[in-house]
Structure 1
Amino acid sequence: MSSTPLAAPRGGSLFPAGAGGPGVLAAAALLLGALALTLAYGPRQGALLVLGGALGLVLYHAAFGFTSAWRVFILEGRGRGLRAQMVMLALAVVLFFPVLAAGTLFGEPVRGLVSPLSTGVVVGAFLFGVGMQTGGGCASGTLFTAGGGNARMLVTLLFFVIGSVVATRHFDWWLGLPSLPPVSLVETLGPTAGIAVSLALFAAIAAATVLVERRRHGALEREAAPAHRGLARFARGPWPLVAGAVALALLNFATLALAGRPWGITSALALWGAKGAQALGLAPQTWAYWQTPANAEALQSSVFADVTSVMDFGIIAGAMLAAALAGRFAPSLRIPLRSLAAAALGGLLLGYGARIAYGCNIGAYFSGIASGSLHGWLWLVAAFAGNAVGVRLRPFFFREGRAAPARGDGH
């Protein structure tokens, strides 16, 4: 494998001209933040910030999107992104199922994200799917594109937070709707059979995308030739989609080891919203959602004590670092009004939907399926249906063709 020097033309810096400031800021935030968290809360919290940074860098450099992958398949029948997701999930279940069956990892207790098969999952995932396409990103996509310099996604993120906290106000009502108990493939079938069934389902989905793509286009899409090779490609991207899939599965497993449960994103956004509501004089602590022991403790504590918040901060900083390394950190405030309206609407749907569905494309879909939870599969079906509706709404908000968005757009 050939190796290209990392040095930029100016001053031997790793960062392209003009990108050094954001890159240095992001690196300092990760390193100094990890040190501060270690001193205040212990080494695990510091490590989780760095782990979040690694997730942000991978998401940005691999342009690993759920929103764009689903949109391109719905509109064009191109399935490369969906197949990469199946690779990610396949590796995840192989890693997760035996450990979850044992209940411990490196001597520490671990648990999966297993939730009920509820009305809230169906409705919430559908709303989330619509929001993915109007907001321009999923949960991970909103964080990494905002961190990568997409100013519009900051609007999506703001309304994502608002929608999340509004959903916590209604959460007990959703709990009262028809629901089936949680079902775990790990517990029901055992780890070996659960892995076999899961891999068969992933293979079937991948095969279906191949059939659709070949029928519509005659051949499968290939990745474009990279601009960089060797170590320079690792630092500046773009990464192959499959490399991103493998890295995300491994980093989710690292999350399981450090946090004792898989990767999640959106509970932190609800927490930020609740703290904002308190600052405005509201009393979210009186709502049923915030009266459970874990949520009440999170609301009373600093956000820096919250595992999910710390990882979300890390994702933003890691994506900012990746964008600077790639020479793509160039925020612009020139955002069309309709696009802003779509960001606000999409953010509300994303936030509300994720909370009542027990998670997002990460907490419910990726980590739910990796945990063996059937609610993750239910979420996938309902969210895909929502995406199908969302892509029909996009022409009202955006002037676009059917091509996949450029790197740094909402994914």
Structure 2
Amino acid sequence: MTVEVRADRALGWTRADTVRTAVAAVVAALLLGTAWYLHSTSGEGLGGSNAALMLLVGAGLGILFERGRYCFFCIFRDLFEKGDSRGMYAILVSIAVGMIGYAIIFSTRVPDPQSSTVPTDAHIAPVSLALVIAGVAFGVGMVISGGCIAGHLYRLPEGHLRSIPALAGVILGFAGGFLSWDFMYSGFILGAPAPWLPAGGGYVVAVLLQLGVLAGLGVWLLKWNPPVLGRGTRTVDAQEVRRLVFFKRWPALATGAGVGLLAVVAYYKDQPLGVTQQISSSARTGMTEAGLLDSFMPGLDERLAGCVAMVVDTITTNGWLIVGIMLASVAAALPGRRARIERATGFSSATALFGGVLLGWGAMIGLGCTIGVLLSGTQAMALSGWVFGAAVLVAAGIAFRAGLHRWSAPGAYPGGPVS
């Protein structure tokens, strides 16, 4: 199989480009102005001293997600539907880069990983049947809804209307997860081990082991890495630079490395990457205030790490991360003509809602999503990240083969992968 690349068309410049670029500049200015305000006030009452940093980390992620199409749904769809594994390398690289950074941080905070002291601020979760069930639900929900949670967050500002019912479903899914938590916790999670690879043989062994696994996966995925034909000669001029920066999909390796570096910065200064804490906390707060939940939830409030939902009365640093993702993604999409309204039908909206419910329930029971559990977990060298990732991958693969992703509306993937 080969990938044919169409000849590049002249980009030109229209009045609409002027408007889009101006709007993007305003959004960028708003984002930077908000970061300056949060920094100057130390985030008082608005997330604390790390609020500005996490807003900017979110902005960096929003740009990388949008320009590199770093969406687990898109990457898995390319693999299972098109037999194209190129996007998978972004995930592998982000795990590798983040893992090395985490190992350096761990070595200063927990000098002896074999002392039975596990970093409680990292996403190192129990491994049980509940984690597998959560991963399966999340993987199927991702395919049906047309995106992972992070994917919906960055594609909604692009005009992907189907993300609205999908995110509404995520909130409902979290509510269902809270209501079923006691059963899942007492039946599967209570007493389950939370294996941390460095505890077995130290940091060097754990890093080399995971690098070996990542390298093996990279070699295996080469069979789905088709050659690209038709690139031809290119002149590096202003139009080509504009095309590469705003129109062409950014290289997978560079995108993955950028995500990995931002993950290290986020963990070093605040907390591991994740996009569900603010959403789940808001859902839990509302349910608690409505009398639907007890103020104390066994396990969740006493020992489990992850994108844990707490009762909050303000925006958290994770909330600012989400704001950064959404603002920066639209600022990155506008100059490349990718921000446009994508129609949603009643049927596609209903399936997006249903898929979102599965996403939210899986993220609640699994203590996070593909960013918080899979990415941050594997970077922390936790077995839970690999188990959740495998469950999501297998479930998504079966769902793609069954054609469940075709329940979405035509043209549901704005700015899809471009060679």
- Using the size of structure 2 for normalisation, the TM-score is 0.82
The one-letter code matched in structure 2 to 1:76 is K
More helix, by proportion:
1
Any idea what SS the aligned residue of 1:247 has?
helix
Alpha-carbon distance between aligned partners in 2 of 1:151 and 1:162, rounded to the nearest angstrom: 18
- Equivalent residue number for residue 3 of structure 1: none
Distance 1:30 1:75, change over 3 A: same
Question: Shift in Å at residue 242 of structure 1?
Answer: 1.6
1:166-181 pair list within 5 angstroms: 166-179=176-189, 180-181=192-193
Matched, 1:407 2:419: no
Tell me whether 1:299 sits opposite 2:314 in the alignment.
Answer: no
Partner of 2:194: helix, strand, or coil? coil
Q: Indicate which of 273, 283, 295 corresponds to 1:286.
A: 295
Say if 2:149 is the partner of 1:139: yes
Q: CA deviation at 1:372?
A: 0.6
Q: Which amino acid is 2:334 matched to?
A: A
- Partner Cα distance (2:231, 2:345) in 1: 30
Number of the residue aligned with 1:18:
19
Q: Conserved in 2, the CA contact under 8 Å of 1:110 and 1:257? A: no
Q: Which amino acid aligns with 1:147?
A: P
Counterpart amino acid of residue 301 in structure 1: D
Q: Secondary structure at the match of 2:18?
A: coil
Report the counterpart of residue 204 of structure 2 in structure 1: 192
Q: Tell me what 1:244 maps to.
A: 255
Shift of 1:352: 0.5
Distance 2:267 2:336 in 1: 30
Is 1:103 the equivalent of 2:109? yes
Whether 1:128 aligns to 2:138 is yes
> 1:161/1:120 Cα in 2 relative to 1: closer, same or farther (>3 Å)?
same
Q: Please name the residue that 1:157 is paired with.
A: 167
What CA deviation, in whole Å up to 9, does each residue of 1:135-168 have, x standing for no partner? 1111221111112221211221121122123212
Aligned-pair CA distance for 1:273: 2.0
| 2:351 is equivalent to residue 345 of structure 1 | no
| Aligned residues of 2:278 and 2:309 also touching (Cα < 8 A) | no
1:45-88 CA distance string (max 9 Å, x none): 11211111111011101111211211222233321111221122
- Structure 1 residue 361: Cα displacement: 0.7
Structure 1 gap segments, 5+ residues each: 1-5
Aligned pair in 2 of structure 1 residues 111, 103: CA closer, same or farther (>3 Å)? farther
362, 365, 371: which one aligns with 1:356: 365
What do the CA deviations read for 1:104-149 (whole angstroms, capped 9, x no partner)? 89xxx99421010022210001000001111111122111111222
Q: What is the rounded CA distance, in whole Å, between the counterparts of 2:243 and 2:36 in structure 1?
A: 28
In 1, Cα distance between the equivalents of 2:130 and 2:230? 38
Query: Which whole-Å deviations, capped at 9, do the CAs of 1:277-304 have from their partners, x for residues lacking one?
Result: 467x4444536269827999942430x2
Does the 8 Å CA contact 2:89/2:252 hold for their aligned counterparts?
A: no
- Contact kept? 1:51, 1:255, Cα under 8 Å: yes
RMSD after superposition: 3.3
Which piece of structure 1 moves more, 138-147 or 267-276? 267-276
Match of residue 86 from structure 1: 92
Cα distance between partner residues in 2 of 1:91 and 1:395: 31
Q: Pick closer, same or farther for the CA change 1:188–1:29 going to 2, 3 Å.
A: farther
Shift in Å at residue 275 of structure 1? Answer: 4.0
What secondary structure sits across from 1:286 in the alignment? coil
In structure 1, C-alpha distance between the alignment counterparts of 2:161 and 2:210, rounded to whole Å: 38
Pick from 267, 271, 275: which aligns with 1:265?
275
The percentage of counterpart residues that share the same residue type is: 22
Q: Which runs of 5+ in 2 are unaligned?
A: 1-10, 112-118
Which residue does the alignment assign to 1:310?
Answer: 320
Any conservation in 1 of the 2:152–2:163 contact (CA below 8 Å)?
Answer: yes
Alignment match of 1:201 (pick from 213, 225, 240): 213
Amino acid at match of 2:355: G
- State how far apart, in whole Å, the 2-side matches of 1:297 and 1:361 are: 16
Structure 1 pair 393–253 and aligned structure 2 pair: CA distance change class (3 A): same
> Structure 1 pair 172/324, CA: closer, same or farther in 2 (3 Å)?
same
Matched residue SS, 2:19: coil
Q: Secondary structure at the match of 2:69?
A: coil
SS at match of 1:117: coil
Q: Give the match's secondary structure for 1:204.
A: helix
Q: 1:30 to 1:104 in 2, by over 3 A?
A: farther
Distance 1:79 1:95 in 2: 25
Quick check: 2:27–2:331 contact (8 Å CA) kept in 1? yes
Equivalent residues of 1:58, 1:247 under 8 A apart: yes
